[in-house]
Each structure stands twice: as structure tokens, then as C-alpha cells.
Chains A and B, each alone.
Chain A
Amino acid sequence: MSAVLHAHPETGPALGVDAGKPRRALSEAGLRGRWWRFAAILAITAVVLVPIMVTVLLAFTPGPNSTATGMTFENLSNVFSKTLAATWLQNSLITTLSTVVISVAVAAPAGYVLSRGRSKAVSGYSLLLFVMQSLPIITSVVPLFILFAGMGLVDNLLGLTIIYVGSTMTVATWMMAAYFDSIPISLEEASWIDGCSVFGSFTKVVLRNSLPGILSTAIFAFLLAWNDYLVAIVFLRSNEIFTLPMGVQSFFQQNATDWTSVMALAVVMMLPPIIVFATLNKYFSVGGIGGSLAGR
């Protein structure tokens, strides 16, 4: 490995070969290669993040009618005092958190059955979940709109939550199943010998050891519900029922020139997913356990 690598330190590793061992002193060429790659990735990241940086910068830039100089929180306070931003934020939080809780509550038991069950019915159900997941939401949105209209669930946060739970459910169930696969069955066997029921071992042994799996499923449900636009645009009609995506969009359409306020609202909307992502970042890769199991 070393011969080739050290001959081409700057390009060899980029083709999928790991660079030399960390403990080995790097040659001057190797060190230079590292800094070249650092410069390249720095430039790429800077370009990629331009739209996000622009959003944040504009949000804290004084607006056209402002007397403030430098950075200001004026736009943020304006957005909250002049629009229903607080209501939208609240609606989004209610819908999203309900979706997260119910999704996990539905997906965890189902995922357990998918992980431990061995009957044809269970494997058939697993396949069914895959097929349903790949169908366009637009196909089911129209019938659901008609069904929900009859039940008073259009323009209603409960109706929105039901659809979000339905659409997160398929992938969430797999995520839970993949995580449960990684929990050795011997742990449960021990509890059964002690007289524990299957349900008891599920809650007391499996669930108790599944916090990372539950968190990554919750992050997935959170992002899906928080970011959705298609379901919201179909089902939400009135301003005070809007979730943030609808709020941001309607505010943008009415105030297309008032960029600083629009971006302030956009920052409000992008902050929660970024916070979730920043604090729970390591659970994003938890599904990797499932990935390695998939290969067996």
C-alpha cells in the first residue's frame, strides 16, 4: 500500500485508498497534499453554503426602513410582531412533535415484529411497506383530501398530523426493525426464562436498550414533518392554521421585496432542524448498524 501511496500522496487517497497510518511521520509532499485537499474542500464547502450564509446574513441586516446599523435583531422582532409567525411556529412544533411521538409509538412495536417475526405474513408486510413508501404522495393526497373534508380534518392540524404519521411510518418501521436486529436475542431469552412475557421483554429489554435507534427514527420523522410542503399546501387553508412552510411561503409571496424580513422568518424555520441535527448528529449514522446487517 505504502509504495503507491507515497508516490502519489495527493491523488492516491482521493481514489478511495486511505492515507498512510496516522502514527507514521508524513513526508513533506504528503503534508502538502493534505493542505491542498483542505483548501479544495474549504472552497467547495464555502460555495455550497452560499445560499445558507446569505439567508442568515440578510436576516440580521437592517431592513430598508431601518435606522439600525450593523447586525440587528429588528427583522426577527418585526416578523413576530407583524405576522402570525409565533402561531405558525407553534403549529409547526405541535404537528411535528406529535408526529415524532406517534410515529415512534407505532413504528417501534411494528419494527419489533418485523425484526423478530418469522412468518410469511410478516415478511409480506415488510415488502408491502416498501412498495407503499415508493408511491407518490400526490396519489393518496387527493382521496385523503376528500375523506378528510367529510370528517372536518381539512385545514386542521390533527388531519395534517395523521398524514405525516402515515407517511413517516413505513421508513420509521424499517429503521426501528434494523436497530432491533442489532440487539441480541439472547438478552430476551434470559428474561423469558425468568418468566417475562414477549411484550414484557420488548418493553423492558429491547426498548430500554434502543435509545439510539429511537432517536434516529425520531430525527427522521422530525425532518419529514417539519419540512413538508406538499401536504400542507393541499390541506391548510387559513392563515392561523398554517405551519411554518406555508407561513414562510405566503409571507414571501406577499413581501417579495422585503428580503430582510423574509429571511428572518426563514431563519426561524431553519433553526430547529439545525439544532436537532447539531445536537443529535451522531445518531444520524446509527442506521449504519442496520446497513451492515443488511449485508449478511
Chain B
Amino acid sequence: MTTTTTQSGLARARRGLAPGGPGGGSRNSNGNRRSKLSAQATRTFFWLLFPSVVLLVLIHGYPLIYAAVQATHDGNLLQTGNFVGGENFATVLSSPAFWKAAQFTLWFTLVGVFGSWLVGLGLALLLRTKIPAGGTFKVLLLLPWVVPIVVSSTAWNWLVATPDSLIPSLFRNLGLGTPLFLADPALASITVMVFKVWVSFPFMMMMTSAALASVDNTVYEAASMDGASRWQQFSQITLPLIARSTYISWILMTIFCVNDFPTIYLLTGGGPVNATTSLVVLAYRTVFQDFATGPGVAIAFLMTMTLVVISVILYRQIRKSSVE
């Protein structure tokens, strides 16, 4: 649901916006009316935008500036403390915990983005064909994305948490040993990533389905007349045609994955032995469990920077793909 609108949000941001407004719309009435209307429109626009601006400043602008202050001070949740310059950043950047969390976040994001994309793409292609009750499956497959993470993580816990849970028992009965899905560091990382893919693939499926729906089938007729194989049709026609939507879905999913807190925190709490501690979980713990506000906010700031860089790179890809 939010997928395509965010696309258009990006698009409108890119093209510098705007279909005709009231000023342009009144083109065909006389000049006097137009200027009167556009002056009135400007005033009205100001008041229509006003609540939104107030909220943006209060909920996004002010905290961002205050966070910058906190990141450069040695205070806590109660007082700001003294100015320490880049010391918090130095502390964070020299701590092994930060780099471990950064590494996990990287893998979590890579698997989250491309895992859910591949599954979503596969299902979107499958559901595009004629299948009895296809519409029902399309709706049912969106459920992992609709169900609250608090609920689904509880269910996943029941399925895998202890050696006697359903899935470890299943493995044991098949003679595959008893995997400790949440207790073994490597296995816990994989489990969290699989959980993330499970939660996110419906989003990718929706985006890909919407993109595929706009592909004109006649292009395939031409291609098959030219003797293109099915794989060639897919890789050289389908994929390029949905490239823009694909890049946008990658950007959004990257943001979702890097910023994700509940998927990880509710399943493993960041453990075992910090194996699944992502940067957000680390920032949360640093601030609210170790009460080290400065370093915690510094971590969040470093994440923000990384996200901006990644978004800019992918954003350029979008521009390139729409030029083609």
C-alpha cells in the first residue's frame, strides 16, 4: 500500500514536483481573477501546510538538532553535560562492539533486502500466471506483513526457541541432530535473517506485482518471434522493465532493515553473546540500559550517515534506470 505512493514521493521529489496548481489551473479565466486567486491560494496553502510543518519541526527537526548536541556532550538522560567534541564518536568507533554490530547490520540488511526481494519476485511471477484461487493466495501471502511483529515473533519463539520446540523436534526425528536456533550464535543470526525475510517478502511481492502489472504483454510476443528464450525474455525484458520499481524497493527495504528494531529485539534480544546485536539494538541498549546517552546517540548518527550514503547511491541508480 505504501509502496507505490513512496515511489511517487520519490518521483515528485526528483522532478521538482507539481502538476498544475490553482494558479496554473485558472489559465483560461481572465488575468485579474487569476492573480486574485493565486494570492488567495498562496495564503490558503500556507495554512494547509502549517500543522504539518509544526509537527515536522517538533517530531523530526528539534530532536535531530538536540541529538547532535547530545552526541557531542558527555551527559545522560537527565542533563546535557559538558561539550566533548568528537569524543563520543571516537569512543564508539574504537569499540569492537560497534564494529561487530555494524557487521551484523550489514549482513542482516543484505539478506533482508535480497532474500525478501527474490522470494517476493518469485511469488509475484508465479501469481501472475493463471492459478485457481490465485487472488486468495495473494491476500493470504500478505499476512506475515500485516500481523504485528510482537505476535509473529512470539509464534516463531514457540516454533524454534527451545530444544523441545516443534522445529528442533522435527529435525531430531529426521535424525538431523537438535539445532539450537536461538542459542547458537551463528544459527541465531541465520534465524533472525530468515524471520526478517518472512516478515518482508510480502512487501516486495506487492511492489513487484504492481510493477509487473504495468508491463505490456505485447513486448513478449515480439521477443518470442525473434526467438528469445524464456530466460532471455525474463532477464532482458521483464527485469529491465521493472528496474525502477526494483531499485525503489531496494532503497526502502534497506531503510527498513537498517532501522529495524522489533524483528531482532523480540526474537533474540540481540543475543546470544551479542551475535544478533544490530546498530539500532546497540544504540537502544547504550542509551536505555547503560545510560550512556552520548555514545548511544553517536551510534544513531553514524547509522543516519550510512543510510544517507546508501540512499544516494541507489537514488542515482533510479535516475539512471529512468533515463534508459
**Does B4 have its Cβ within 8 Å of any Cβ on chain A?**
yes
Stretch of B82-90, B91-99, B173-181, B292-300 at the chain-chain interface: B292-300
- A139–B150 touching, CB < 8 Å: no
* B58-75 with Cβ < 8 A to chain A: 58-60, 62-64, 66-67, 70
**Does A110 have its Cβ within 8 Å of any Cβ on chain B?**
yes
* B237-282 with Cβ < 8 A to chain A: 237-238, 244-245, 255, 258-259, 261-262, 265-266, 280
* A86-144 with Cβ < 8 A to chain B: 105-107, 109-110, 112-118, 122-123, 125-132, 134-144
B151 touches which one: A55, A165, A197, A223 (CB < 8 A)?
A55
Contact residues in B for A50 (Cβ distance below 8 Å): 159
- A252–B41 touching, CB < 8 Å: no
Interface residue count on the B side (C-beta < 8 Å) = 123
Of all chain A residues, the one with the shortest Cβ separation from B238 is A16
**Does B304 have its Cβ within 8 Å of any Cβ on chain A?**
yes
B307 touches which one: A4, A117, A134, A288 (CB < 8 A)?
A134
A291 vs chain B, min Cβ distance (A): 3
Knowing A1-B217, A13-B129, A169-B52, the reply to whether A291 touches B4 (Cβ < 8 A) is: yes
Measured in the bound complex, the distance between the Cα atoms of B179 and A32 in whole Å is 39
A142 touches which one: B20, B131, B293 (CB < 8 A)?
B293
Of all chain B residues, the one with the shortest Cβ separation from A42 is B137
* A176-215 with Cβ < 8 A to chain B: 177-179, 181, 185-186, 188-189, 192-193, 197-199, 201-202
Contact residues in B for A45 (Cβ distance below 8 Å): 137, 140-141
Measured in the bound complex, the distance between the Cα atoms of B23 and A116 in whole Å is 9
Per-position 1/0 for A142-163, Cβ under 8 A of B: 1111110100000000000011
B148 touches which one: A118, A166, A273 (CB < 8 A)?
A273
Contact residues in A for B307 (Cβ distance below 8 Å): 134-136
**Does A60 have its Cβ within 8 Å of any Cβ on chain B?**
no
A138 touches which one: B144, B217, B283 (CB < 8 A)?
B283
A287 touches which one: B1, B23, B212 (CB < 8 A)?
B1
- A175–B198 touching, CB < 8 Å: no
**Does A84 have its Cβ within 8 Å of any Cβ on chain B?**
no
- A139–B300 touching, CB < 8 Å: yes
**Does A11 have its Cβ within 8 Å of any Cβ on chain B?**
yes
The SS class assigned to the B binding surface is helix
A40 touches which one: B21, B48, B126, B308 (CB < 8 A)?
B126
**Does B9 have its Cβ within 8 Å of any Cβ on chain A?**
yes
Measured in the bound complex, the distance between the Cα atoms of B159 and A262 in whole Å is 14
Measured in the bound complex, the distance between the Cα atoms of B8 and A171 in whole Å is 11
- A125–B146 touching, CB < 8 Å: no
B210 touches which one: A134, A162, A277, A285 (CB < 8 A)?
A285
**Does B190 have its Cβ within 8 Å of any Cβ on chain A?**
no
In this complex, the member of B12, B56, B233, B259 whose beta carbon has the largest number of chain A beta carbons within 10 angstroms is: B12
A261 vs chain B, min Cβ distance (A): 12
Measured in the bound complex, the distance between the Cα atoms of B287 and A248 in whole Å is 24
* B23-37 with Cβ < 8 A to chain A: 23-26, 28-29, 37
- A109–B148 touching, CB < 8 Å: no
A118 touches which one: B8, B21, B40, B237 (CB < 8 A)?
B21
Knowing A38-B131, A55-B154, A113-B45, the reply to whether A169 touches B283 (Cβ < 8 A) is: no
Contact residues in A for B220 (Cβ distance below 8 Å): 1, 16-17
**Does B288 have its Cβ within 8 Å of any Cβ on chain A?**
yes
Measured in the bound complex, the distance between the Cα atoms of B229 and A11 in whole Å is 12
A129 touches which one: B3, B9, B40, B62 (CB < 8 A)?
B9
What are 9 A-B pairs with beta-carbon distances under 8 A?
Answer: A17-B233, A34-B131, A44-B141, A136-B300, A138-B261, A140-B59, A227-B149, A227-B150, A295-B11
Shortest 9 CB-CB distances between A and B: which pairs?
A: A166-B59, A291-B4, A140-B63, A174-B9, A294-B11, A110-B52, A109-B48, A143-B66, A294-B8
